[in-house]
Amino acid sequence: MRAAGRRLPAEPGPLFGTAASRPEQQARWRRLVDSLLPEAARTRPDWPVRLDHCFARILLDNACGGPWRESVAPPAWANMPEARLSCAIELGEAVLAGRADLALLNRRSLQWRGSLKPPPAPDGLRDGDLLLRRWRRSDDAAFAALNADPEVMRHFPSPKGRPESLMEARALDRRFEADGFGPWAVEEAGRFLGFAGAMRLMRAMPFTGGERPGDCVEVGWRFATAGWGRGLATRAARLSLADLFGRCGIHSVVAFTAAGNAPSRRVMERLGMVHVATEDFDHPGLQAGSPLARHVLYRLAASDWQALRTGPIA
């Protein structure tokens, strides 16, 4: 089964629109955290922080998918990779504009750092010999091989190298610490096959509900070729959706993928997801004109999921 949805990267993609030069980007960041956000906090008693370094911590942690100092040497404004700093800036500007929940971003940061207890999550979800579980370091080689396979990655901009794969695996697992759910590692009869699950979209996306970073939850999967053609992606996604709509109390999810990714679209449809053709979009993280740029959007509400599970059998 090919991957569903976006690239699910450990490191976010490029800025929407034209990228600024590196010095311009750094100056934009410093102005945001040194003055704009602290000044705005004076009139926002509902914001959980007031100081510049607190705003920096929150935005950088959420851009990195964990405590930023674990992957970037200080000072962050000078050493942060351009794509991550762009993500942090976008989050800060969304907070200023009232399009992102600062309390949610702060809670995720504090949970990653151990200052708040993360939401409880089960050790795993099982359907016969199919197991969804937390990630292990022993998954690294198989996940790197999956991400290096051109056939698996043909609906992505390019295959991934081992360092990028390891970074992605760590970031995916940390989603559980931040939100209580995430993309589960999937194994069948003890063999790692890939992942399936959900994650909060932490960058604005050009469809209804995607404008506010952190509000929208995406479901997706990526399987090695050994897991294709046997319904495993559908089974794994169903387990994840049942957990999301039940234990986690998520009200709705989206899935999106390149328009030509017919196998993933079939999985979305087997799950009962509905294609909303009027909301199909060009992915802002891909170059304009790329054959992968056009994406299709599918939606599923918890109420519809429950009706599908309890309705009459045709």
Give dist(CA 293, CA 283) in Å, integer. Answer: 5
Residue 1 has what pLDDT?
Answer: 38
Q: Which residue carries 């059998």 as its tokens?
A: 313
Q: Residue 259 has what pLDDT?
A: 97
Q: Would the CA dihedral through 185, 145, 264, 63 be positive or negative? A: positive
Cβ contact 216:201 at 8 Å: yes
pLDDT of residue 14: 37
Q: Which helix (H) or strand (E) holds 79?
A: helix 76-79
Structural domains present in the chain: 22-112 (no CATH), 124-310 (3.40.630.30)
**pLDDT confidence of residue 309:** 82
**What pLDDT sits at residue 9?**
39
CA 291 centroid distance within chain? 22
Q: Please, which residues have CB within 8 angstroms of residue 111's CB and are 6 or more apart in sequence? A: 117, 118, 119, 177, 178
pLDDT for the residue numbered 8: 41
* pLDDT for res 311: 61
Q: In terms of Cα–Cα distance, which of 306, 147, 312 is closest to 238?
A: 306
The pLDDT of residue 314 is 40
User: Which pLDDT value is given to residue 310?
Assistant: 75
Q: Which residue ranges of the chain lie beneath pLDDT 50?
A: 1-3, 5-18, 313-314
pLDDT given at position 230: 96
User: What's the pTM value of the predicted model, to 2 decimals?
Assistant: 0.89
